[in-house]
Every structure is written in structure tokens, then in C-alpha cells.
């Protein structure tokens, strides 16, 4: 049906056509979009406020009034999960954006110019990579203190090296191609060569890495909040909700089951979409 | 070969120095006074000042860094914990065996389950088993290990009451933490084995082996598997290295006195010497595990050793 349109629509349509063939990735995209919509309209979807307490109705099991039950302060778990999607997605997206920007700039400098700058930047990246990601995030988060923005910074910084490496490696592979030479000969500035000629051609691996890192970022954010190093009460972060519910889980399973399901669902969606993107954008990268 | 190992070990040194510097700098960026956070709000200003002096925190940054590095190089001294003044080296020595056990067992679990499942899925591609395994692997990769741990505790400790939920005193205590850490790895290893096997069994030399009339088992296990295993070994090495650094959340949930719990505890009260020592130790362990992985490559794929030798001769 779309075959004819593709011919006129260019690379994006072709990519969409390939992505559409992969059912799993469409499901993943659907889940992701679903959570984004929930996050945007959280205040309309949630029946109660995230900090609204019903002290006479604590520890209720799922029922008509409270879809997923209530916690130790009588707060509606469903509403808290709905609001929590805002926090988790915000942390995930912004921290990856931060990592792409910083890692991209560092990768461009070291890939395009080479020389001393490359050596220094890449050695520093090697050193950062010698420390496992999560540990790096834990150390940075503990130094900066708790809070959403500090968590974003911690996760963002710890994911910089992987982006710097990917951008550098991709630039190295196309830096000496003819069209870059041609751009140089026609007196383009370095900035123009990088932004107009090089970056559009290395976007595929970066986008794939970004999607797969998004899932990891959401997982780390909930892990750090679970350890008490991330988002603090009463902000409804899923990991923090699990940590709070843990003390009561011997008698009230619903406090720890549902927030966890939300994490699993989002990360599953992101990963499925990421796998599909990888196959559609760059058939050579399999994993 | 010895030269190669020595060269790699030498290359670790600048990385370690860099790690020491990075961690040292990050820890000094903290806006709060670590001593105040360790001693608590009840401590008087004099007590805080006295301890700051004792720990050398009033010296200029580079003097502090130099003293710290000097201590490590000359006396293998990573400082003492702010809380009970126990040497950091001792703390790591006591806790490392526990983390090591957890890492070894969960990596073994991951390999024993993940590799065979990956092979079967690849050989019987698109079969029911393959589809079930692939979907399960996707789901398990998305499950945060700490949530899996909580679910395991609810089912096996709180309801069935068959396994303990905290501590580290014997095999029975290890089962749940090992499952919680290992499951994600099983999924990862299964997927990597599957995709690599699929790539390898389509190659010409496998067709040749089939044409020779070799048995399918010999083809899969002797000819295909060895070539497909390299990326799997990399992944297992990475996982193992990460777990050596402590499975932070799992150790905290199950109250396992390992490196991970030590670091989380130290981070939350800003016990800086412990954090620094722990991170440096982990970076070294990570580097050594990577080196071992590279050596293991050589045994699985002799061509890799051969290429080292060729390079060495050229020089």
C-alpha cells in the first residue's frame, strides 16, 4: 500500500516502513507512547493527588474506590503510579539528553580534530568507563545530594562515555570520505561540516544507543531512589515507592507489586522499541 | 603471551591513577562537610574541627591528593573509615570474599542456563521454545533486579517460608540473591548466544561440515559454538566484573555484608575514605577481569593469539 509513497518520501518513510514490519517494536513504541500520554495528562487521569492522604483508609487492597489499593498513609497507589510516570520519564529523557549533548560534543571534538584533544578526552572516558555505570551514578548522587535534578545529573554524567565513544567511532569512519572532503574544499567552516554533513550521517547508531540507554537510565533511577539516594518522599518515584512499601510487604503485597510492574512495563516497551530501531536503522548492528 | 599480559597490566596503571583522581575530585565537590554528616548534628563544632584536622581535610586539595596517593603506593594504605577508624583495606578484605561468592555463583548460573537456551533457540529458530525464550528474555531484561528480589522474598520467604530473606550464612541464604542477580544475566547471555549462533550457522564452513556428513551435534557444539562464544564470553566477563563491584541493591535488600552494601552505606553517610577505596578497588578488579577475559579469548579462538604474535614480530 505504501510502496509508492515511500519512493517520494525519503529516508524517514523508508525507515518507518522497515520498523513497521517488526511487530515487537511497534508494541514497544505503543507502550512508550502510552506512558508518555499518561505522564502528560497525569493530573486528569489520576483520581487523587499523589500526596493526598486518606488516613482512615490505609492499606486497602485493590477495590473500586482505589484501583490498586492504598499505602500506609492512605494514598491511592494508582494515582501515585500515574504521577510517577512523569518523574521516571523526565529523569530518563533529560539524563539521556544531557549525556548525548555532552558525549556528542566530546566525541565530535576527539573524532573530528584528533590529536592531543582526542587523547585527553578518550583517556578520561576510559577512566570513567573503568568504574561501572551504576557505581558512578551512586557516587555522584551521594555527593550532590538527593532530588530529581541531582539524580538526572548523576545518571547523565555516568552515561556520557558510551555516547562519546560511539560518536567518535562513527565520525572516524566517515571523516575522510569524499563528501566531507568536498565540503572542506568548498570552504565550509568546521562547525558547518560537523553539523550539516557529518552529524546527520552518524545519527543512526546514536539514536539506537539513546533508546537502549533510556531503559537503563529509568532502571538506574528507580534503583538509586530505592537505595534512598535519589528522589525523596513525597514525590512518587516508582523505586522510592518500592522502598517505602518494603517495610510493609509481609502483610500488604500490593504496595510493592504494582510500582514494580510499572517499571517493568516501561523498560520493556523502551527495550522492544530500541531493538526494532536498531534493526531498522542499522542492520549491521546486531546484539 | 607474558609480554602481552605485562603490557596490559602496565596499561592499567594510568587508568587507575585517573580513577583515583576522578573519585578524589568528585568527593571533594560535595557541598556538605562529610565529617559533619558522619558525626551527626549533635556533635560540637570543636569535635568536627578536630576530626577534620586529624583526617587532613584542611590541607590544600593537591596536598591531600598527594598524601592519599603516597599512602596507597608506599604502604598500601587507603585511609581509615570515618565511622569506626577501621582501615579501608581491612574492610574490603573482609567483604570481598562474600561478593566474590555471589558473583561467581550468579555468573555460573547465567552461563549454565543462558548458553544452552541460546543454542537451542538458535538451532530451532522460530519454534515454540525459541519464541517463549525470546519473549521471556525480553521481559527479564526489563525487570529491575531489586524488584525481582522483593517478589522472591514475598513468595519464598514470607508465604512459603522455605528460604531465608536476609543474611549470608550458608547455601540456603545464597539461593534467592543468586537467582535475583543471575536472572537478568541469563536473559542477556541467552540473547547474545542466540544471535551469534544464528550468524555463525549460516556461514560457509558450517555448510562444508554438513556436506562432509558430520553429525549435527558435532557441527553445533564443535564447529559453530566455539566461534559464537566470543561475544558471549565478553558479556559474561562484563557481568562478572560488574558483580565483583558489588550488586548494590541486592546486597542491601538481602543484608549481605559485601562490597556493594559497604559502598551504599558509606555513600549515604559520606564516609569518603571507604567510598574512595571501594571504587578504586572495583576499578582494579574490573580491569583485571577484562584482562582475564581477553586471555580466555585466546584459548577459545587460537587465531587471536596468533595475531598477537604476528604483531609482536612486526615490531
Name the pLDDT band for A1 (thresholds 50, 70, 90): very low
Name the pLDDT band for A27 (thresholds 50, 70, 90): very high
Buried-state track A19-55, b at ≥16 Cβ within 10 A, e below 16: beebebbeebbebbeebeebbeebeeebebebeebee
Q: What is the CATH number of domain B92-273+291-314?
A: 1.10.3720.10
Rounded Cα distance between B125 and B132, Å, is: 11
Q: Which three cell numbers stand for residue B242?
A: 560488574
Rounded Cα distance between B142 and B162, Å, is: 27
**Angstroms from A4 CA to nearest CA on chain B:** 31
Chain B touched by A158 (CB under 8 Å): no
Residue in chain B nearest A251 by alpha carbon: B158
CB contact under 8 A, B144 and A134: no
Q: Which residues contact B21 (CB under 8 A, 6 or more apart)?
A: B65
Chain B touched by A285 (CB under 8 Å): no
CB contact under 8 A, A130 and B143: no
Residue in chain B nearest A129 by alpha carbon: B283
**A160 pLDDT above the threshold of 90:** yes
The average pLDDT across A151-160 equals: 94
Contact indicator for A247, A272 with CB cutoff of 8 Å:
no
Query: What DSSP letter does each residue of chain B carry, written as one string?
Result: -HHHHHHHHHHHHHHHHHHHHHHHHHHHT-SS-HHHHHH-TTS-HHHHHHHHHHTTTTS-HHHHHHHHHHHHHHH----B-TTT--BHHHHHHHHHHHHHHHHHHHHHHHHHHHHHHHHHHHHTTTSHHHHHHHHHHHHHHHS-HHHHHHHHIIIIIIIS--S-SS--SSHHHHHHHHHHHHHHHHHHHHHHHHHHHHHHTTSHHHHHHHHTT--HHHIIIIIIHHHHHHHHHHHHHHHHHHHHT--HHHHHHTT--SHHHHHHHHHHTT-HHHHHHHHHHHHHHHHHHHHHHHHHHHHH-HHHHHHHHHHHHH-
Best of B249, B261, B271, B291 to substitute, by most chain A Cβ atoms within 10 angstroms, is B249
Domain positions in chain A are 2-285
* Average pLDDT of chain B to the nearest whole number: 86
Candidate CATH numbers 3.40.109.10, 1.10.3720.10, 2.40.50.140, 1.20.810.10; the one for domain A2-285: 1.10.3720.10
What is the per-residue pLDDT for B103? Answer: 92
Q: Which residues of B touch A264 (CB under 8 A)?
A: 139, 142-144, 147
CB contact under 8 A, B15 and A130: yes
CA angle A140, A261, B259 (to 5 degrees): 35
Q: What is the DSSP letter of A188?
A: -
Q: Which of residues 214-233 of A touch B (CB under 8 A)?
A: 215, 219, 222-223, 226-229
Rounded Cα distance between B169 and B188, Å, is: 29
**B149 pLDDT above the threshold of 90:** yes
**B239 pLDDT above the threshold of 90:** no
Q: Which residues of B touch A158 (CB under 8 A)?
A: none
Q: Which residues of A touch B150 (CB under 8 A)?
A: 242, 246, 249, 256, 260
Residue whose grid cell is 558479556: B235
Residue in chain A nearest B240 by alpha carbon: A132
Q: Which of residues 48-107 of A touch B (CB under 8 A)?
A: none
CB contact under 8 A, B138 and A130: no
Strands (E), A1-143: none
Q: Which residues contact B275 (CB under 8 A, 6 or more apart)?
A: A139, A142, B23, B27, B263, B266, B267
Residue whose grid cell is 577508624: B85
Rounded Cα distance between B194 and B115, Å, is: 8
Rounded Cα distance between A43 and A94, Å, is: 21
The 10s digit of each residue's pLDDT in B242-282 is 888 768 889 999 999 999 999 998 888 888 889 889 988 88
**A2 pLDDT above the threshold of 70:** no
Best of A22, A127, A262 to substitute, by most chain B Cβ atoms within 10 angstroms, is A127
Residue in chain A nearest B137 by alpha carbon: A268
CA angle A255, A256, A259 (to 5 degrees): 95
The average pLDDT across B113-117 equals: 94
What is the per-residue pLDDT for A20? Answer: 82
Q: Is the dihedral of CA A129, A130, A132, A138 positive or negative?
A: negative
Q: Which three cell numbers stand for residue B160?
A: 512459603
Most confident of the following: A88-102, B76-90, B120-134, B195-209 = A88-102
The 10s digit of each residue's pLDDT in A226-256 is 988 888 878 889 999 999 988 888 888 888 9
What residues form DSSP beta bridges with A76?
Answer: A70
Residue in chain A nearest B135 by alpha carbon: A24
Question: How many residues does this entry show for chain A?
Answer: 287
What is the per-residue pLDDT for B315? Answer: 55
Of A128, A132, A250, the CB nearest to B22: A128
The average pLDDT across B26-55 equals: 79
**A4 pLDDT above the threshold of 80:** no
Q: Which three cell numbers stand for residue A153?
A: 545529573
The 10s digit of each residue's pLDDT in B288-313 is 888 888 888 777 777 777 776 776 66
Contact indicator for B244, B226 with CB cutoff of 8 Å:
no
The average pLDDT across B60-74 equals: 85
**A58 pLDDT above the threshold of 90:** no
Rounded Cα distance between A262 and A81, Å, is: 7
pTM: 0.87
Chain B touched by A23 (CB under 8 Å): no
Rounded Cα distance between B22 and B63, Å, is: 16
Q: Which residues of B touch A134 (CB under 8 A)?
A: 242, 248
What is the per-residue pLDDT for A144? Answer: 86
What is the per-residue pLDDT for A286? Answer: 44
The CA radius of gyration of chain A, in Å to the nearest whole number, is 22
Q: Which residues of B touch A265 (CB under 8 A)?
A: 142
Of A131-140, A276-285, B209-218, the poorest mean pLDDT is in A276-285
Of B139, B199, B253, the CB nearest to A268: B139
Buried-state track B115-127, b at ≥16 Cβ within 10 A, e below 16: bebbbbbbbeeee
Q: Which residues of A touch B138 (CB under 8 A)?
A: 24, 268, 271-272, 275
What is the per-residue pLDDT for A7? Answer: 54
CB contact under 8 A, A132 and B241: yes
Chain B touched by A138 (CB under 8 Å): yes
Q: Which three cell numbers stand for residue A104?
A: 556528542
Question: For the purposes of burial, counting CB atoms within 10 Å of the CB of B109, is it exposed (0-12), middle (13-18) or buried (19 or more)?
Answer: middle
Residue in chain B nearest A222 by alpha carbon: B144
What is the per-residue pLDDT for B119? Answer: 93
Amino acid at each position: 500500500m505504501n510502496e509508492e509513497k515511500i519512493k517520494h518520501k525519503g529516508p524517514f518513510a523508508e525507515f518507518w516502513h522497515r520498523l513497521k514490519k517488526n511487530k515487537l517494536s511497534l508494541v514497544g513504541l505503543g507502550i512508550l507512547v502510552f506512558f508518555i500520554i499518561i505522564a502528560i495528562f497525569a493530573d486528569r487521569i489520576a483520581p487523587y493527588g499523589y500526596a493526598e492522604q486518606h488516613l482512615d483508609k490505609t492499606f486497602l487492597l485493590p477495590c473500586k474506590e482505589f484501583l490498586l489499593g492504598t499505602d500506609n498513609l492512605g494514598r491511592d497507589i494508582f494515582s501515585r503510579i500515574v504521577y510517577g510516570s512523569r518523574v521516571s520519564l523526565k529523569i530518563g529523557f533529560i539524563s539521556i539528553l544531557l549525556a548525548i549533548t555532552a558525549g556528542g560534543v566530546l566525541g565530535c571534538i576527539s573524532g573530528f580534530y584528533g590529536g592531543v584533544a582526542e587523547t585527553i578526552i578518550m583517556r578520561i572516558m576510559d577512566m570513567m568507563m573503568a568504574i561501572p555505570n551504576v557505581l558512578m551514578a551512586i557516587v555522584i548522587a551521594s555527593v550532590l545530594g538527593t532530588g530529581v535534578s541531582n539524580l538526572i545529573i548523576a545518571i547523565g554524567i555516568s552515561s556520557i562515555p558510551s555516547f562519546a565513544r560511539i560518536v567518535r567511532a562513527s565520525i572516524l569512519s566517515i571523516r575522510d570520505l569524499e563528501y566531507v572532503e568536498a565540503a572542506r574544499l568548498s570552504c565550509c567552516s568546521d562547525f558547518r561540516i560537523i553539523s550539516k554533513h557529518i552529524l546527520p550521517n552518524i545519527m543512526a547508531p546514536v539514536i539506537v544507543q539513546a533508546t537502549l540507554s533510556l531503559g537503563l537510565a529509568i532502571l538506574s533511577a528507580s534503583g538509586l531512589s530505592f537505595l534512598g539516594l535519589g528522589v525523596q518522599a513525597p514525590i512518587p518515584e516508582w523505586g522510592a515507592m518500592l522502598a517505602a512499601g518494603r517495610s510493609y510487604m509481609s502483610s500488604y503485597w500490593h504496595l510493592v507489586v504494582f510500582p514494580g510492574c510499572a517499571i517493568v512495563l516501561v523498560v520493556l516497551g523502551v527495550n522492544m522499541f530500541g531493538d526494532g530501531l536498531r534493526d531498522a536503522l542499522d542492520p549491521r548492528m546486531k546484539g | 603471551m607474558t609480554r602481552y599480559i605485562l603490557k596490559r597490566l602496565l596499561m592499567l596503571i594510568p587508568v587507575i591513577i585517573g580513577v583515583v583522581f576522578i573519585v578524589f575530585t568528585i568527593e571533594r565537590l560535595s557541598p556538605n562537610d562529610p565529617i559533619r554528616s558522619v558525626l551527626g548534628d549533635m556533635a560540637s563544632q570543636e569535635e568536627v574541627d578536630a576530626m577534620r584536622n586529624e583526617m587532613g581535610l584542611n590541607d590544600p586539595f593537591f596536598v591531600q591528593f598527594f598524601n592519599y596517593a603516597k599512602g596507597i603506593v608506599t604502604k598500601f594504605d587507603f585511609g581509615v573509615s570515618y565511622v569506626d577508624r577501621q582501615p579501608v583495606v581491612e574492610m574490603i578484605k573482609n567483604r570481598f570474599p562474600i561478593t566474590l561468592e555471589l558473583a561467581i555463583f550468579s555468573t555460573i548460573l547465567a552461563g549454565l542456563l543462558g548458553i544452552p537456551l541460546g543454542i537451542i533457540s538458535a538451532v530451532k529458530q522460530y519454534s515454540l521454545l525459541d519464541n517463549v525464550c525470546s519473549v521471556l528474555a525480553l521481559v527479564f531484561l526489563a525487570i529491575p533486579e531489586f524488584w525481582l528480589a522483593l517478589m522472591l522474598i514475598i513468595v519464598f520467604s514470607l508465604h512459603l517460608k522455605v528460604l531465608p530473606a536476609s543474611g549470608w550464612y550458608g547455601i540456603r541464604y545464597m539461593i534467592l540473591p543468586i537467582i535475583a542477580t543471575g536472572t537478568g544475566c541469563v536473559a542477556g547471555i541467552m540473547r547474545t548466544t542466540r544471535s551469534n549462533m544464528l550468524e555463525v550457522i549460516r556461514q560457509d564452513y558450517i555448510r562444508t561440515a554438513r556436506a562432509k556428513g558430520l553429525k549435527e551435534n558435532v557441527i553445533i557444539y564443535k564447529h559453530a559454538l566455539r566461534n559464537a562464544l566470543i561475544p558471549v564470553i565478553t558479556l559474561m566477563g562484563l557481568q562478572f566484573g560488574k558483580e565483583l563491584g558489588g550488586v548494590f541493591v541486592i546486597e542491601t535488600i538481602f543484608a549481605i555484608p559485601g562490597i556493594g552494601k559497604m559502598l551504599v552505606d558509606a555513600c549515604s553517610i559520606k564516609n569518603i575514605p571507604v567510598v574512595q577505596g571501594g571504587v578504586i578497588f572495583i576499578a582494579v578488579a574490573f580491569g583485571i577481569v577484562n584482562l582475564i577475559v581477553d586471555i580466555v579469548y585466546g584459548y577459545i579462538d587460537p587465531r587471536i593469539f596468533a595475531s598477537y604474535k604476528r604483531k609482536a614480530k612486526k615490531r
